[in-house]
């Protein structure tokens, strides 16, 4: 002990409050030892104070750590070199005498011949946000003081293995701030050992406990040396068993260390556990989960008929379940998969979005979900919800069908009563309501523009609670206008007309997805016009080499201020300013009010402008639009002529012409309501940031960005009271960092089970990657796998492969000749704009950005809905 700090603590003295002293593993073992009925092998922890004492005075290590902290995930070789140097130094350090004396004193409580497990326990380990499982070293069956001291040094050094360093880089942990404790525990010599997950790690189901078991020490299982038995338990009953051939096991050697041993043939296919032992383990697991308050990943071993728990950590990969106040079964579908925004949102963004939603939203993992259980239970609404899901995302529909086929999860109501879900108007119903008059869409746009203008004027004079009240009132009016019958008819009527055309042209003429061609270059599409307008900006800049050179060097987001100082800069700035005036409220993930808008950081547009200058000739926007329009008109003429040759041809042609007219008059308007929403969001945001500045000046919050982590209602209260418990902000920031790393499911139940859908299609080429056909045509080209729009470097003719797109990606569509996304449906943004620009597109392609490598040559079958990876020439 030095300066009042202990270098060694008994496990009985460790708990969650000692995380910084004994690391995640030590803290959790101390907690486990306090749970009644849980056996934990006796032992102690060498604290982080000992680690700091032994390493902290070494200046060479400090220099190397500073260097290590400059590396990113791509610097693998540099990380390997520097981390290896640190390890060699750490292993060679002589442990200070006072630390050795404390360790020796604790070991004197045990038999001199006792065997121990010496295990690393980092402060960044076994946390709810990152498990760090297996990143540092463990040594088994270590005997004697000298050997234990030697392995303590090895554990310290293992903090700097290349894998541990890379893991910290990926999870944004500072190497200089992480400390290591070492757990020394009495060795248990088990007949069977394994891992238990108190929630199913594959499906996420919180009511199913999954147990892996193999003979001997658990290291054989953890290291992947053997296949384990897998047992599933629900409600105290074994519901599933998978018995594997267990040919090898790791056992302890009497003199110290371990050995791998072949299991006799007669035992290889025997269950490692009896049903009674499985149920007993599951019961222990449930108690441990209840203690920690979160599903656990538990290491256990069975020795002489007794179950020992040797570690428990949170399962960090589970997607959270929306919280309900009842015990009923619920089925949630992702809103983000329909909005093409599956990223986590901050609390302010979520709450503002909820205020304009059609019905109540469930929140989990920073995402929005809709509970459809009640609508699935009623025959009157089940068909409609499945039909709409199929239109939006067939994988969602298939997942819902899986839930319904189980018969026991959703209680189906008899007869044809609406039930709690209520009746939903079909798309055909909207079409019949819609008068085929293009002035309707123009009138809806004019109404919106007048309302936004009034909002801008009114909001300038408002502050404090009065400002928040005004925004609430405007959001209520926005919601009313979004869901009024005329607006919904204008949006849904064109969608149904397109579906009618596709169905009838396939039936009458044998052509599929004809509406894709007919939808090209429809008028009044504010999103496609945004992409074409950026081509016009490029036309203004193209004649001025000095402006192009200046833009190529842009680093500061205020670059427009200096642009006027170069030749042609004044014209260029005027063109960019005009573009931002019209479209500057847009950005990636724009349904989240907290996202940075183009007007706030115009640098985002610079690569797109330069790409347009490089890839296009002057006046490309007019040519592209007119080319699409002519192709649509040509297709219309062809179809009508062919229809007239059929029985009842004149009637069929007349009806088809009316449907085509509906598509041409209203398909473009579908993109406007979102433009209306984000236009208002930007007005709100500018006003709220002024209010946030006032809160910073009053020392209520630390920075203006802090308001992003409050709900709108909470912000209203903070503005009213000028008081805030800042711990809320800190916790929300930590939660958001965790949520960003999670992949949201399309469908999740109230049990936490993620239901995945599949495409059911045959007769496809071997190796075809299946998705949803949303824009017709076949095209070949180079795949460009892009996750962030600002990282895009495209050449004309590339095929864009990305998780999802929203309207902010539209300018990129001008440079590509095909589109593949992981998320999406027939009417999501990428599909709509791909059809208008005439780009073959396949969406909803699971793991597209993993299965397709950047630079590969691929073929997109936009009509049939699949992708082929072509062999290199």
**Which residues are designated catalytic?**
829
Tokens of 154: 């090895």
Closest CA to 447 of 476, 397, 486, 413: 486
End-to-end CA distance of the chain, in Å? 69
Find residue 252's DSSP bridge partners.
258
Cα–Cα distance for residue pair 823/845, rounded to 1 Å: 7
Cα–Cα distance for residue pair 192/198, rounded to 1 Å: 19
Largest CA distance in the chain: 101
Q: What's 870's DSSP letter? A: P
Q: What's 704's DSSP letter? A: G
Q: What are phi and psi of 841, to 5 degrees?
A: -145, 140
Whether 421 contacts 375, CB under 8 Å: yes
Cβ neighbours for 5, distance < 8 A, ≥ 6 positions apart: 47, 49
Whether 23 contacts 180, CB under 8 Å: yes
Burial of 798 (0-12, 13-18, 19+ CB in 10 A): buried
Helix (H, G, I), strand (E, B) or coil at 214: strand
Burial of 66 (0-12, 13-18, 19+ CB in 10 A): exposed
> Which stretches of 250-393 are DSSP H helices?
265-268, 275-292, 336-339, 347-354, 373-377, 379-392
Cα–Cα distance for residue pair 783/559, rounded to 1 Å: 32
Which residue reads 């809905």 in tokens?
865
Q: Within 10 Å of residue 102's Cβ, how many Cβ atoms?
A: 20
Helix (H, G, I), strand (E, B) or coil at 461: coil
Q: What's 39's DSSP letter? A: B
Cα–Cα distance for residue pair 338/360, rounded to 1 Å: 16
Cα–Cα distance for residue pair 56/90, rounded to 1 Å: 11
Cα–Cα distance for residue pair 567/552, rounded to 1 Å: 15
Cα–Cα distance for residue pair 470/463, rounded to 1 Å: 9
Closest CA to 428 of 513, 376, 515, 499: 499
Q: Within 10 Å of residue 401's Cβ, how many Cβ atoms?
A: 15
Which residue reads 């525990």 in tokens?
185
């Amino acid at each position: 002990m030095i300066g009042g700090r202990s270098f060694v603590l008994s496990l009985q003295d460790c708990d969650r409050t000692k995380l910084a002293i004994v690391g995640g593993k030590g803290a959790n073992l101390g907690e486990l030892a306090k749970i009644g009925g849980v056996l934990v092998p006796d032992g102690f922890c060498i604290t982080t104070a000992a680690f700091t004492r032994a390493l902290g005075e070494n200046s060479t290590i400090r220099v190397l750590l500073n260097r290590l902290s400059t590396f990113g995930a791509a610097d693998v070789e540099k990380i390997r070199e520097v981390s290896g140097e640190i390890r060699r130094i750490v292993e060679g350090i002589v442990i200070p005498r006072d630390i050795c004396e404390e360790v020796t004193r604790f070991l004197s409580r045990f038999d001199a011949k006792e065997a121990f497990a010496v295990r690393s326990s980092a402060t960044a380990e076994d946390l709810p946000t990152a498990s760090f499982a297996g990143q540092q070293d463990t040594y088994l069956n270590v005997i004697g003081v000298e050997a234990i001291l030697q392995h303590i040094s090895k554990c310290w050094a293992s903090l700097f293995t290349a894998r541990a360093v890379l893991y910290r880089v990926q999870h944004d942990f500072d190497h200089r701030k992480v400390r290591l404790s070492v757990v020394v525990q009495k060795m248990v010599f088990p007949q069977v050992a394994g891992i238990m997950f108190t929630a199913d790690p594959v499906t996420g189901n919180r009511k199913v406990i999954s147990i892996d078991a193999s003979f001997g020490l658990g290291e054989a299982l953890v290291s992947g040396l053997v296949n384990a038995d897998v047992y599933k338990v629900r409600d105290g009953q074994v519901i599933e068993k998978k018995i594997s051939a267990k040919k090898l096991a790791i056992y302890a050697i009497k003199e110290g260390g371990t050995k791998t041993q072949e299991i006799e043939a007669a035992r290889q296919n025997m269950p490692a556990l009896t049903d009674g032992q499985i149920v007993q383990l599951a019961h222990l697991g449930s108690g441990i989960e209840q203690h920690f308050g979160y599903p656990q990943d538990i290491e256990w071993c069975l020795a002489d008929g007794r179950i020992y728990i040797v570690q428990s950590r949170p399962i960090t990969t589970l997607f959270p379940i929306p919280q309900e106040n009842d015990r009923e079964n619920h089925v949630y579908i992702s809103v983000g998969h329909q909005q093409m925004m599956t990223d986590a949102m901050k609390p302010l963004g979520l709450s503002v979005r909820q205020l304009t939603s059609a019905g109540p939203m469930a929140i989990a993992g920073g995402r929005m979900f809709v509970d459809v259980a009640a609508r699935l239970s009623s025959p009157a609404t089940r068909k409609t919800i499945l039909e709409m899901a199929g239109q939006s995302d067939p994988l969602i529909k298939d997942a819902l069908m899986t839930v319904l086929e189980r018969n026991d999860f959703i209680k189906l109501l008899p007869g044809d009563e609406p039930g709690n879900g209520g009746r939903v108007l079909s798309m055909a119903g909207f079409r019949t309501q819609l008068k085929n008059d293009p002035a309707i869409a123009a009138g809806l746009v004019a109404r919106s523009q007048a309302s936004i203008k009034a909002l801008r004027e009114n909001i300038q004079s408002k502050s404090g609670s009065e400002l928040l009240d005004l925004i609430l009132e405007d959001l209520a009016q926005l919601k009313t206008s979004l869901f009024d019958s005329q607006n919904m008819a204008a949006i849904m009527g064109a969608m149904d007309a397109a579906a009618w055309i596709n169905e009838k042209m396939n039936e009458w003429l044998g052509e599929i997805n004809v509406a894709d061609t007919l939808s090209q270059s429809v008028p009044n599409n504010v999103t496609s016009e945004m992409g074409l307008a950026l081509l016009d900006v490029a036309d203004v800049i193209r004649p001025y080499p000095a402006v192009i050179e200046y833009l190529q060097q842009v680093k500061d987001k205020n670059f427009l201020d200096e642009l006027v100082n170069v030749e042609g800069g004044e014209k260029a700035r005027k063109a960019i300013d005009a573009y931002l005036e019209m479209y500057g409220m847009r950005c990636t993930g724009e349904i989240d009010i907290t996202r940075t808008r183009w007007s706030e950081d115009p640098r985002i547009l610079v690569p797109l402008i330069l790409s347009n200058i490089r890839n296009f000739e002057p006046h490309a926007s007019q040519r592209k639009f007119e080319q699409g329009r002519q192709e649509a008109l040509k297709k219309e003429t062809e179809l009508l002529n062919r229809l007239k040759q059929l029985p009842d041809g004149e009637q069929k042609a007349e009806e088809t012409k009316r449907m085509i007219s509906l598509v041409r008059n209203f398909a473009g308007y579908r993109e406007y309501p979102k433009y209306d929403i984000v236009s208002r969001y930007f007005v709100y945001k500018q006003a709220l940031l002024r209010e946030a500045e006032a809160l910073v000046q009053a020392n209520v919050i630390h920075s203006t960005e802090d308001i992003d982590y409050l709900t709108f209602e909470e912000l209203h209260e903070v503005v009213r009271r000028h008081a805030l418990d800042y711990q809320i902000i800190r916790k929300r920031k930590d939660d958001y960092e965790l949520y960003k790393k999670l992949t949201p499911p399309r469908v999740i139940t109230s049990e936490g089970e993620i239901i995945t859908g599949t495409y059911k299609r045959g007769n496809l080429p071997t190796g075809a990657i299946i998705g949803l056909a949303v824009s017709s045509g076949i095209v070949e080209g180079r795949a460009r796998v892009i996750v962030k729009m600002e990282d895009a470097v495209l050449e004309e003719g590339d095929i864009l492969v990305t998780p999802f797109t929203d309207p902010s990606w539209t300018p990129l569509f001008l440079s590509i000749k095909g589109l593949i996304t992981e998320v999406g449906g027939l009417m999501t943004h990428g599909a709509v704009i791909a059809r208008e620009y005439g780009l073959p597109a396949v969406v909803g392609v699971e793991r597209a950005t993993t299965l397709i490598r950047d630079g590969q040559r691929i073929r997109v079958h936009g009509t049939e809905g699949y992708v082929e990876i072509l062999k290199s020439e």
